[in-house]
Amino acid sequence: MEPRLVGPGPYRATRLWNETVELFRNGMPLRKHRFHFKSYEGCFTASEAVEWLHKLLKRNQNFSPEVTRAQTVQLLKKFLKNHVIEDIKGRWGKDDFEDNGKLYRFPPFSPLKPYPKRSPYRKEIVKFPNWDFEKVTFQEHIPVKPITLNSEMWFKRHSIAIGEVPACKFIHHRQLKEANVEDIWKSRTLSYLQKTLGLDSLNDILDTKLVNPKDIIQNVYSVNKQGTVILEDKSKEIPHWVLSAMKCLANWPRYPDLKQPTYSGFERDVFRTIADYYAHMKEPLLTFQFFDVFVSVLGILQEKKLATEALQISCLLLPPANRRKLQLLMTLMAKIQSNKDLPPLSDTLGTRVMMVQTFSHCILCSKDEVDLDELLAAKLVSFMMDNYHEILNVPSVLKTAVEEHIAHLQRVQIKYPESDIDAILPVPSFCHQIGTDEFEHQKTNCHQGPLANLLEEITMNMEMSIKEKKKRLKQFQKSYPDVYKERFPTPESEAVLFPEKSKQKPLLTWTFKRPFQPFQRTRSLRM
């Protein structure tokens, strides 16, 4: 049975656990062993299990090739605690597995982790960020009662169709409430995350009620020139002595504030000081509530660009204090890895492996000790170290999309006299169901009265020139011929509006004058 790639999606950690258990049970070699002058069939030693499982994890694409033997031992301890394996006398549940010659075997039935049951009934709630209500979507079509408009509203609604626009009083911007802006940021961020992960829903990997939109907004805008979050609550800041230790290692050996004399192994003590601070946090930097989100991102790490975008968005969900600590720690780890002047921090492990093994658990882990959090965290931290600069930046695509959407909602609005443009088509929070006959009756007859009043207003407007009035009436007749014919059934009734004026030709006075002739015409003479 070959390892297969477990993609993103709900319960990925559970799926990885079950697959690893099945691979271990089906592939681990079993043979006869002697222990205390007694032979046992179908068993294996602890060292054999560590060796075989370590090779399996390193070539498994769901985990990192940098998996250490110590991490494999930790996983086998969890296997023993959850009765995936038992000792040769059938004992299990104690966390006493060690890399030695003690004999173990598989129980008759290996417990696999069950998947949480999903409710078969789901009510889809569509949240409109710029409105103060929620709309429940239904499958069936329900006829709704049309909105009845009075003549004044109808005039303002159809004034453009007949060529007349009432004079506006003033221009204003629509002011969005702070809660509206927060809802927009939250909905757009989660929508982008869902699209990037390629999931139908985030409900199985994230409780969206726990996402705080204020954290997202602060992580986007409250940053310094380096892009690091600036905390409003200084009590949540990293202690100054930890920051001093981090600056010391990041700039080793060119740290200007280092005045005290150093000694052999000084840099290891400084590193241990930083590691102790992060190790004693109450929860990991990526928090327990977002564990499944980041584990799902691990399923697309083979697509670097897509995984980077998913981690960018996921890290925006973190509390600002956690995001700042993560930014500073990732920057430190990247600088230590590239600092050739820094002495080795361990005698047995390389600098990169040392940092991954030290900080993985304080960056990502789960509340449930059964999960493969050590192995998953090591893979995630390795990827974040190599791409920390892009991951911990604000995704420009998301920021631009949200800002353009907010600007669109705050666009310029025109206010008309004695009426608000928003009152022309009010958005109802619910609809009344009516019958088909009433709907057809309103569709045919409800607009006749307002249109007749509008036509009468044009007809009786004495301030309008005759030329302009004829133009408006012609446009109205073209748009609403039935209403126009009812008001002016004959050409004579229309002619009353424009009485013809009598046209008299002006009298012309002609004056004839004899032109001046200097020479008198004479008869021609024949010679």
Same domain for 303 and 196: yes
Residues 67 and 187 in one domain: no
Least confident of 208-217, 417-426, 440-449: 417-426
The answer, yes or no, to whether residue 259 has pLDDT greater than 80, is no
**What is the per-residue pLDDT across 106-146, written as a single tens digit (0 to 9) for each?**
998 877 888 766 544 444 433 444 443 333 333 334 444 44
Q: How far apart are CA 286 and CA 294, in angstroms?
A: 8
At which of 63, 89, 105 does a domain end?
105
Higher per-residue pLDDT: 159 or 41? 41
The answer to whether residue 99 sits within a structural domain is yes
Side by side, the strands of the sheet bearing 103-105 are 31-34, 39-45, 103-105, 86-87
Average pLDDT over residues 444-466: 74
Q: Does 30 score more than 80 pLDDT?
A: yes
Residue type, 70: A
| Residues 363 and 215 both lie in one domain | yes
Residue 368 and residue 255 share a domain: yes
- List the domain range (segments joined by +) for residue 217: 180-402
Question: What is the structure's pLDDT at 525?
Answer: 43
C-alpha closest to that of 21 among 57, 66, 61: 57
Final residue before a domain boundary, out of 374, 402, 430: 402
Q: Is the pLDDT of residue 351 over 70?
A: yes
Higher per-residue confidence, 52 vs 6:
52
Q: Which of 290-294, 441-445, 460-464, 480-484 has the highest mean pLDDT?
A: 290-294
Structural domain contains residue 28: yes
Given a cut of 50, whether residue 225 has pLDDT beyond it is yes
∠ Cα 209 359 62 (to 5°): 75
The secondary element (H helix, E strand) that includes residue 134 is strand 134-136
Residue 45 exposed, middle or buried by CB count within 10 Å (0-12, 13-18, 19+): middle
**Mean local confidence (pLDDT), 446-465:** 75
The encoded tokens of residue 62 equal 């769901």
Asked if residues 367 and 290 have their Cβ atoms less than 8 Å apart, the reply is: no
Whether 13 and 295 have beta carbons less than 8 Å apart is answered as: yes
The answer as to whether 524 is a domain residue is no
**pLDDT at position 127:** 44
pLDDT digits (tens, 9 = 90+) for 151-162: 555 455 555 455
Domain closes at, from 90, 105, 120? 105
Res 505 pLDDT > 80: no
Examine residue 376 and state whether it is found in any structural domain, yes or no: yes
Q: How far is it, in rounded angstroms, from Cα 82 to Cα 112?
A: 9
Residues linked to residue 126 through DSSP beta bridges, in sequence order: 135
Mean pLDDT along residues 206-230 = 94
Distance CA(452)–CA(457), nearest Å, equals 9
CB 448 within 8 A of CB 151: no
DSSP state of 151: H
Q: 70 with 188, same domain?
A: no
Check residue 501 and give its pLDDT.
53
